[in-house]
Amino acid sequence: MPLAKGKSQKTISKNISEMMHAGHPQDQAIAAALNIARQTRAAGGFGPSKPSTPKMSAPSKPSVSKFHVGPIHSPVAGRTDHLPMHVPSGSYVIPADIVSSLGEGNTMAGFRAVKTMFNKAPAGAFAQGGSMGEPVAIVAAGGEYVLTPDEVMWAGGGDMDAGHKALDAWIKATRAETIQTLKKLPGPKRD
C-alpha cells in the first residue's frame, strides 16, 4: 500500500534526515520514519490511502484500545512533535526540556526522577481501570512524560483543575531556575 504523497513525503524525508544526523544507520532511519508515517496516517494524519465514497451513516468515534502514559521514547533526534497517540482525558504532558533538566541533561535520568516524584500518587479511577472521560488524541515528542489523571489530581490535592494549574506553575518555575543556572555558568574560554 503506497504512502500518501506530497507533504507526507517531505515529512518522511525530514524524519530520515534527522535520524541519520543523530547517528542512526540509514536503513534503520528509513524503517523508523516509514513506521512513523504509517502510524500517523492510520491516526488520520495524512488522509485516506485511496479515494473513498462518502457514507451516509453518522461518523463513528475512533476505537482506542490503549492510552499512553509515562515516558515517551523516540528514535527521532530533537524535540519535534511527531508521535500520534491517545492519552486519557485529564492527563498532563511534562515537556522534554523539563524532563531533561530533572535528569541534569539526561532524559532517562529525568524519566526516573519524574516517576519518583509521582510514585506517592494514590491509585484512583484511572489506575483501577475506571473511565476518565474520552481519549484525547495528541502528537507528542520523544523525551516528554505523560502523567495520568490520578497523578494530576494528586498534584492538585484531589482537584484536577488545581493539579493542572500547579503543574503549569511548576513548569514555569523549573524553566526560570534552569535559565538562572545557565546564566551563572562561565562563558566559553577564548584562546
Alpha helices in 43-105 (DSSP H): 96-102
Extract the C-alpha cell encoding 186: 562561565
95: closest CA among 72, 113, 122? 72
More confident residue, 121 or 133: 121
Give the Cα separation of 190 and 118 in Å (integer). Answer: 44
* Other CB atoms within 10 Å distance of the CB of residue 148: 24
The confidence score (pLDDT) of residue 152 equals: 93
Average pLDDT over residues 61-88: 79
More confident residue, 157 or 55: 157
pLDDT tens figures, 38-60: 666 655 554 444 434 334 344 44
pLDDT exceeds 70 at position 149:
yes
pLDDT band per the 50, 70, 90 thresholds, residue 81 = confident
As a whole number, the mean pLDDT across the chain is: 76
Task: Identify the bridge partners of residue 147 per DSSP, sorted by sequence position.
Answer: 92
The confidence score (pLDDT) of residue 95 equals: 93
pTM of the model as a whole: 0.62
Give the Cα separation of 161 and 144 in Å (integer). Answer: 21
∠ Cα 163 168 172 (to 5°): 145
Average pLDDT over residues 103-132: 80
Extract the C-alpha cell encoding 88: 486519557
**Please, what's the largest Cα pairwise distance for the chain?**
73
Helices and strands: H and E segment counts in the chain: 6, 5
94: closest CA among 133, 140, 60, 52? 140
More confident residue, 18 or 172: 172
pLDDT band per the 50, 70, 90 thresholds, residue 164 = very high
More confident residue, 60 or 186: 186
Return the exposure string of 64-85: e unless at least 16 CB atoms fall within 10 Å of the residue's CB, then b: eeebbbebbebbbbebeebbbb
Give the chain's radius of gyration (CA, Å).
Answer: 20
